[in-house]
Amino acid sequence: MRTVGRAELLVEELRRRWTGLRWGRVVLDAITLTSPSEAWPPTIRIDYRVGDKRQSWEDPWDVDLLREEPLESAANVWLGIVHGHMSEQGLL
């Protein structure tokens, strides 16, 4: 039996809550864990569209503080990080 790590559980929560989210002209298409399931902090990749242009962003999410927080809280903080990144890139 395979053990599911916290990073994988976080990505499952992110997918459930945020896949398909639309911020103006940006749509979140996919959220993928690119680091091992048990690794913390995780590396997460998002695939998104800006209009018809497909893009991705992968980040070694270095917020170790949320290791013990509920997954819902960690998912909300992660979404804030993504929103901030997209704002800095002028996408929103």
Indicate the pairing of strand 43-50 with strand 26-33.
antiparallel
Q: What are the boundaries of each domain within the chain? A: 6-85
The length of the chain in residues reads 92
pLDDT given for residue 56 in this prediction:
95
What is the pLDDT, as a whole number, of residue 57? 93
pLDDT in tens, 2-13: 667 888 998 999
Strand-pair category, 26-33 with 22-23? antiparallel
Q: pLDDT at position 1, please?
A: 56
Strand-pairing partners, residue 45, are 32, 58
Contact present, 19 and 31 (Cβ < 8 Å) = yes
Q: How far is CA 44 from CA 1, 10, 24, 33, 65, in A?
A: 24, 10, 22, 5, 16
- Residue 11's pLDDT is 92
**What is d(CA 24, CA 84) in angstroms, rounded to the nearest whole number?**
14
pTM for the model stands at 0.83
92 residues of the chain, pLDDT tens digit each:
566 788 899 899 999 999 999 988 999 999 999 998 888 888 999 999 999 999 999 987 766 666 777 888 888 888 888 889 889 989 88
Please give the pLDDT value at position 62: 65
